[in-house]
Structure 1
Amino acid sequence: MPTSPDLANAWFSSRLWKPFAFQRTVWAAIERGESGLLHASTGSGKTYAVWLGALRAFARPVSGRHPAPLQVLWITPMRALASDTARALQAPVDELGLPWSIGVRSGDTSSAERARQTRRLPSALVTTPESLTLLLTREHAERDFAELRMIVVDEWHELLGNKRGVQLQLALARLRRWQPQLVVWGLSATLGNLPHALEVLLPGGGRLVQGRQDKRIQVDTLLPDEIERFPWAGHMGLKMLTKVSAELEASASSLVFTNTRAQAELWYQALLDARPDWAGLIALHHASLARHTRDWVERSLKQGTLKAVICTSSLDLGVDFLPVERVLQIGSAKGIARLLQRAGRSGHAPGRTSRITLVPTHSLELVEAAAARQALAAGHIEARRSPRLSMDVLVQHVVSMALGSGFRPEQLLEEVRSTWAFQDLQDAQWQWALAFVRHGGSSLTAYPDYQRVEAHPDGLWRVASERLARRHRLGIGTIVSDASLQLKYWSKGGGGKSLGSVEESFIARLKPGDTLLFGGRILELVRVENMTAYVRRSTARKAAVARWNGGRMPLSSELADALVERLDAAAHGHYEGPEMRAVRPLLALQASWSALPTQRTLLAETLHTRQGWHLFVYPFAGRMANLGLANLLAWRVSRQQPLSVSIAVNDYGFELLAASAVDWAAYLPAALTVDDLLEDVLASLNAGEMALRRFREIAQIAGLVFGGYPAAQKSTRQIQASSGLFYEVFRKHDADNLLLGQARDEVLMEELEIERLSHQLQKLAGLSLDLHALQRPSPLAFALLIEGMRETLSTEKLADRIARMVADLEKAASRP
């Protein structure tokens, strides 16, 4: 075996590779004990930069039969990536003959493997933030991590902007207290605010290493044969099926990304129907499929035996599929970072071109495609910011640290304040958190279940009972969603093969005998019991498509700005690129009947129909910010005159439909100002109901609501009822409860995007109002009209109505 400093170069030489400059920089920094953040394009060799650096710095011969003790923790944001990452780390260890063992610890780890790790942790452990916190709750955790030298946080951008990242910050603080010289490195490929990302990961400072950024990314668009002049969003883009099939035929291996699991199911089924000869050559991959199914798909992709995989964000990250030649994106990616991440799944090696083909589901997405390529070329990547003072995560962490050997409040406070997320934690907030875990705060002192932690005479705080400790361990984590039911084949002798999971809210709409599409199969629901839905194969031709929450991603500010730039250019007669030339008939009609949005104007349109008086406004602020703008405008106008409106929104704009005439010119844009924004937004929306919904998640994270044991999970309805009861109790008897304030703040920041709303209002103040009275819906207005109809019409009736409307509008557009 070569001497330690030569390990990295020796392994590279054995493969006839030459390390890049950024890899050598990271190797040297790790050897000097420096921490940092490595930002480099997907497939450029980030993993080898930090892993070979770790082996070079820390791998030493050991005596005896056992491999080295735990030296490196590798944090991955997805447990689906853990096994693949472990295999990548194992290769140089085996080939260099190093006495290191590699292990995985996640929710998928078997009980036998957990038992082995309880006796002795491997030399390098690949784990998730949740599993790391669980390891920290063990009684001898400090001893287990006594030899730890380095932590690698993979795909840091995926954790930075959410509570999982906050949970990880707190775990890192505990490990840094035990090991002050700990080396920490973050890896990322798609971040627009690197200084903030570095500061959150390393509050004490660290190095920022920029890797190779010359990787070529080819972005092209699959143009439809026919351009709809009256497009509408919400269909799955299946009109492009023939063209997509042809593209897949021309490539040996492809990934087809969709934005939702339901869309992935439909596209997989449609491709199989169109090309039955591809059975066994194409596959489906999303997070709700059973683990063994996902493993088979990933293994087959690596081996190059699959022609295509239809997938969701479940394959966005990290997994290295060298055989993949190209990526297709069905519909808009809605953000530049997501587009870049998905593009990097093809050509996943240094020097290889990554190619992504955008497949529009409606004509306006052609403009988004052109805008995305422009923003990508300009390097306009979305920023992600860490949450601050998430009290629900803090409460959970305090209880977690009270497990095992317990904690001393003054020491734990110092740890907590060493994180970026809690650097501004006030003494009063800390005392509230301690009181909350000790006796439930001022309103729950009579209930033993909320006396979770107790102070002992020796000054240590520990969890009060083993029963409460067991309950808490089952609830560790910050991922809260609709309760999931296991989906299994029905058999007379009991449950058959597991297919995956579906959300309870979807199954609740079905009755036995109804059919559903899942995993590319049409299934009949047999029965539901014990949080398991039993199904059998069906020969029916139609089925409900399993749906999951989180399907609607908002348009990012960076992509929205680029989109308006393209429309502005079109308004001045410049149609650059194949997408803009293809969509020119639509944009020309928009300009003829109304106007095109520009960077200097706020386009608004009015229309009178049998439904009432319509106002259409196009701020291009994204779905949630547009909803806030719509409610704000309606609220402010209603204080001037009696007004009852219905609201429809999309990423481009919003519609207000009033029962009586409104002189909108008298109110716009004066009603869209930043003045009294916070008060008016809260008054204009059902903020109480939104805060209650958000509080349900906070209550689960904080441990107020127990989701049940694995074999007896509580239903969503039970969890909602319990959290709703706490919400009312706190509101009436404990109004200063910090979890209530957090719910309100999260609604403002995450659901209403108050910062983006404020920025948008400031931007609108500098625009000239361009108000047009329409004789008939313009192409942009048509899309909003359809959004408004979705709530009142069934799918079939909506399709018929749209067809009639389009026929009438096309007839009007064809008149000379």
Structure 2
Amino acid sequence: MELPPVIAQWLAGRGWQLRRHQAQVAALVMGGEHVLLTADTGAGKTLAGFLPTLVDAAQGSLSDGLHTLYVSPLKALAHDVQRGLMTPVAEMGLDLRIEARTGDTSSERKAKQRSNPPHVLLTTPESLSLLLSYPESAEMFATLRTVVVDEIHALAASKRGDLLALSLARLQRLAPEMRRIGLSATLSDVEGFRRWLAPVGQQAALVEGEAGAPAQVSILLPQGERIPWSGHAASWAIPQILDLIRSHRTTLIFTNTRFLAEYTFGLLWEGNEENLPIGIHHGSLSTEARHKVEGAMAEGRLRALVCTASLDLGVDWGDIDLVVQMGAPKGSSRLLQRIGRANHRLDCPSKAVLVPGNRFEYLEALAAVAAVEAGTRDGEGLRAGSFDVLAQHVLGLACAGPFDGGALLEEVRLAAPYADLSAEAWSQVLGFVSTGGYALRAYDRFRRITHGRDGLWRLTHPDLARSHRLNAGIIVDADMVEVGFRNGRSLGRVEEEFAAQLTPGDTFRFAGLDLAVEGFREGTLLVKAAKRSAAIPSYNGARIPISSHLADRVRAILADQAGWRDFPQDVREWLAMQAKVSTVPAPDELLVESFPHKDRHYAVFYTFEGWPANQSLGMLLTRRMEVQGLAPLGFVANDYALAVWGLNPVESPQDLLSPDILVDEFVAWVENSYLLRRAFREASVISGLIERQMPGKRKTNRQVTFSSDLIYDVLRRYEPEHLLMQAAWADARQKMTDVDRVAQVLERAGRAVRHLRLSRVSPLAVPTLTMIGRESLPAGAADDALLVEAEDWAAVAMGGT
């Protein structure tokens, strides 16, 4: 395509030229098509997404009002893209106003954006949904020409994706000529995402970028030490990581949890004799703290930054030349995203180092390196839309003004997750938003919309609009407590459950600082600097399981005994002893080992199906063991295996693993456990049935739980098919129990179970068994706390007594 002179001159002045895929995206979009661009990190996807906007601005064809909407899964990414766009726009002299709108944006700025929108607005799915709840949204979005959905793979397969798909359907109605651009470097189901991006009945055009330079990925191993049997922190690697920081310009160090980010940062700082500038970044830090460290990274003032998934999507800081992954990567797509933060150019290889925390994680790291070299992607599959999200969307649109139920159903069906929504289900949704459902219709507080004589649905009271905007959102956080100094400076938030354990004088580490508790004031945990601390806040977030793809690769690595010769000596010895005293799991079978140890009988099931599935299977098997008189005493699970133990031995694993366990027993377990109640509580908050936030006040988690449990008991007894009960069951099956992967274990067991009765614990079982008791350790306890127990198991497994 022929570029306007101002853009062509700007590119030429830097010795650049448009890549094929960038020009192709612009031509297709300006021709009126929706486009999905898949390209490696550093291929200029962001420029491709904004090029149609820059062309319109250069040609003077921009009218007043909003022209382009950029939607990102992360607030940090939206702000980073804003910084990245401002420079070329200013250098080209384009009259293009660019602003961000996220949860960090002030209410005054948000109000100005509604009355006088910029040409380009950078936002998140939640902020976009709230914008659509205002009466002026129709006028604001009427001029919209382009929507750019960045990192589309991180949104589409989740409830946030459901909300975004519904918002896109509404935007398409408000601006029929609007074009959608999706960007990603790590899609596994390209055709599915092409359908998801476009309105139902259409398919986005696919543009594939040129391949980038192959990534350089290596695995860090201990110097003069052995890879630990268990644990995830990889604290053994701190001296070597400091050496890597010294030998690189800027290093980004990823951890899988906020706890590990704080823990790793503390260890690095203790060994940082040169006082190298090292920062920390995660989602619980204050807005001020996050923006400060983001600015420091963008300006090249940090040598290293420890972070979580808060920075693993699309952030472009060009001076990063090394990425370190602490612990297992869990998925090839996630790892590729993180690797791509280093040397963010298509022709320059990204460089990454994986740091396994234990021996199984070493095997997982090998699998991940092989997947990256093969260019294999994995990720969550697309799914049907959730009813609680749809209910929130309906209420939000009612806040914008009256709507026709039939017309809105047609619009909703244009969103891919809701393409198959039946008229009956739609009637349920409207009934729920208007009355709470059959069992709750007697309570006026659940009446939020009403059907008028004119055939339109509208809010029952104007105050409901304010309440909706205070409470709308998809991410249901635990109760959080602000942490700050007496001068009013906020450091961020910790979970109330952690804060409740603290008394004045207690110390803990947060935001990279050692802090001492002074007390509570107006809901804020007041702190001061301390010399040293031990405790670190932990957060009850979802645990990331190993992907099915990586699990299959780990099984294949185990089965390839010829390849063991390239492993570190301690790993070779570990697997060789396993083959000698037991066997190694074959890819197409389920290996079960049983053995006695200290007056108890253990059974270990090598499933490789991820922690949530193994945890669920453990609950089901111990219940069945109880019925069979095996007197179970407990179980422990990790991503790779499940261990159960009791007073009597497991003689027939096949009896425990029969497929009918997922019929009556699974249902009974979920209904009588906290899982369904927790899922119901989250669905109640997302749907707006239960409000957490009121003007000037926020309900505690205990208050929300009390209210949701009362409603849950009523619905379970009188209306078990209620809309929210359906939403809760969907979450319990998919997110909380991972029942599909449990079913894969049972299917494999039905084909081939290999049960070996051993006289002692096997080497392969040790990493799982050393986790016994770990869950009860106080937050902040180091992995070394169970070293004695680990060595006891290991000594027996490797031939000792």
Pairwise TM-score range, normalised by the shorter structure: over 0.9
Distance 1:556 1:21, change over 3 A: same
CA drift at 1:544: 1.3
Which SS does the other structure have where 1:443 is aligned? helix
Q: Which residue in 2 is equivalent to 1:265? A: 262
Greater CA deviation, 596-605 or 47-56? 596-605
Contact in 2 for aligned 1:600/1:768 (Cα 8 Å): no
1:733 aligns with 2:718: yes
Contact in 2 for aligned 1:43/1:349 (Cα 8 Å): yes
| Cα distance in structure 1, aligned partners of 2:104 and 2:183 | 24
| Cα distance in structure 2, aligned partners of 1:307 and 1:710 | 43
Q: Which residue in 2 is equivalent to 1:196? A: 192
1:607 aligns with 2:595: yes
| Cα distance in structure 2, aligned partners of 1:616 and 1:715 | 40
Q: Which amino acid aligns with 2:36?
A: L
The alignment's TM-score, normalised by the length of structure 2, stands at 0.94
Aligned residues: 798
Q: Which residue in 1 is equivalent to 2:654? A: 669
How do 1:647-796 and structure 2 match up within 5 A? 647-663=635-651, 667-669=652-654, 671-675=656-660, 677-684=662-669, 687-709=672-694, 711-767=696-752, 769-775=754-760, 777-791=761-775
Which SS does the other structure have where 2:490 is aligned? strand
Greater CA deviation, 609-618 or 527-536? 527-536
Q: Which amino acid aligns with 1:268?
A: F
Contact in 1 for aligned 2:602/2:646 (Cα 8 Å): yes
Q: Which residue in 1 is equivalent to 2:564? A: 575
What runs of 5+ residues in structure 1 fail to find an aligned partner?
A: none
Contact in 2 for aligned 1:284/1:519 (Cα 8 Å): yes
Q: Which amino acid aligns with 2:80?
A: D
| Cα distance in structure 1, aligned partners of 2:785 and 2:109 | 57
Contact in 2 for aligned 1:38/1:208 (Cα 8 Å): yes
| Cα distance in structure 2, aligned partners of 1:798 and 1:349 | 38
Contact in 1 for aligned 2:630/2:649 (Cα 8 Å): no
Q: Which residue in 1 is equivalent to 2:523? A: 531
1:128 aligns with 2:117: no
Contact in 1 for aligned 2:770/2:793 (Cα 8 Å): no
| Cα distance in structure 1, aligned partners of 2:599 and 2:416 | 52
How do 1:107-186 and structure 2 match up within 5 A? 107-186=103-182
Q: Which residue in 1 is equivalent to 2:552? A: 561
Contact in 1 for aligned 2:212/2:346 (Cα 8 Å): no
1:221 aligns with 2:213: no
| Cα distance in structure 1, aligned partners of 2:600 and 2:25 | 64
| Cα distance in structure 1, aligned partners of 2:489 and 2:184 | 38
Which SS does the other structure have where 1:114 is aligned? helix
1:70 aligns with 2:66: yes
Contact in 2 for aligned 1:230/1:586 (Cα 8 Å): no
Match of 1:366 among 356, 362, 365: 362
| Cα distance in structure 2, aligned partners of 1:545 and 1:78 | 25
Q: Which amino acid aligns with 1:44?
A: A
1:618 aligns with 2:606: yes
| Cα distance in structure 1, aligned partners of 2:624 and 2:39 | 47
CA drift at 1:212: 2.1
How do 1:24-423 and structure 2 match up within 5 A? 24-57=23-56, 60-61=59-60, 68-202=64-198, 203=200, 204-226=202-224, 228=226, 231-234=229-232, 236-278=233-275, 281-423=277-419
| Cα distance in structure 2, aligned partners of 1:608 and 1:548 | 36
CA drift at 1:764: 3.6
CA drift at 1:51: 0.8
Distance 1:642 1:600, change over 3 A: closer
Q: Which amino acid aligns with 2:539?
A: W
| Cα distance in structure 2, aligned partners of 1:46 and 1:390 | 30
Q: Which amino acid aligns with 1:245?
A: L
Partner deviation per Cα, 1:261-306 (whole Å, 9 max, x = no partner): 1111121121111114225x11111111122222221222222221
Distance 1:50 1:260, change over 3 A: same
| Cα distance in structure 1, aligned partners of 2:457 and 2:24 | 44
| Cα distance in structure 1, aligned partners of 2:782 and 2:234 | 19
Distance 1:788 1:527, change over 3 A: same
CA drift at 1:121: 0.5
CA drift at 1:57: 4.8
Greater CA deviation, 261-270 or 521-530? 521-530
| Cα distance in structure 1, aligned partners of 2:800 and 2:101 | 67
CA drift at 1:642: 5.4
Distance 1:546 1:641, change over 3 A: closer
| Cα distance in structure 1, aligned partners of 2:795 and 2:7 | 66
Match of 2:491 among 486, 499, 517: 499
Which SS does the other structure have where 1:574 is aligned? helix
Greater CA deviation, 674-683 or 744-753? 674-683
Partner deviation per Cα, 1:318-376 (whole Å, 9 max, x = no partner): 22110001011111111111111110010112211101101122233221111111122
Contact in 1 for aligned 2:449/2:457 (Cα 8 Å): yes
CA drift at 1:139: 1.1
| Cα distance in structure 2, aligned partners of 1:633 and 1:693 | 22
Contact in 1 for aligned 2:228/2:358 (Cα 8 Å): no
Which SS does the other structure have where 2:485 is aligned? strand
CA drift at 1:414: 0.7
Which SS does the other structure have where 2:122 is aligned? strand
Contact in 2 for aligned 1:58/1:71 (Cα 8 Å): no
CA drift at 1:225: 2.5
Q: Which residue in 2 is equivalent to 1:480? A: 476
CA drift at 1:634: 4.0
Contact in 2 for aligned 1:229/1:589 (Cα 8 Å): no
Distance 1:198 1:323, change over 3 A: same
Q: Which residue in 1 is equivalent to 2:541? A: 550
Distance 1:551 1:740, change over 3 A: closer
Which SS does the other structure have where 2:394 is aligned? helix
| Cα distance in structure 1, aligned partners of 2:451 and 2:468 | 18
CA drift at 1:378: 2.5
| Cα distance in structure 2, aligned partners of 1:638 and 1:221 | 43
Distance 1:95 1:789, change over 3 A: same
| Cα distance in structure 2, aligned partners of 1:72 and 1:789 | 53
Greater CA deviation, 218-227 or 651-660? 218-227
Which SS does the other structure have where 2:114 is aligned? helix
The alignment's TM-score, normalised by the length of structure 1, stands at 0.93
Contact in 2 for aligned 1:524/1:536 (Cα 8 Å): yes
Which SS does the other structure have where 2:86 is aligned? helix
| Cα distance in structure 1, aligned partners of 2:52 and 2:6 | 9
What runs of 5+ residues in structure 2 fail to find an aligned partner?
A: none
Contact in 2 for aligned 1:227/1:586 (Cα 8 Å): no
| Cα distance in structure 1, aligned partners of 2:639 and 2:342 | 29
Contact in 2 for aligned 1:177/1:415 (Cα 8 Å): yes
Q: Which amino acid aligns with 2:77?
A: L
Distance 1:594 1:686, change over 3 A: farther
Greater CA deviation, 440-449 or 734-743? 440-449
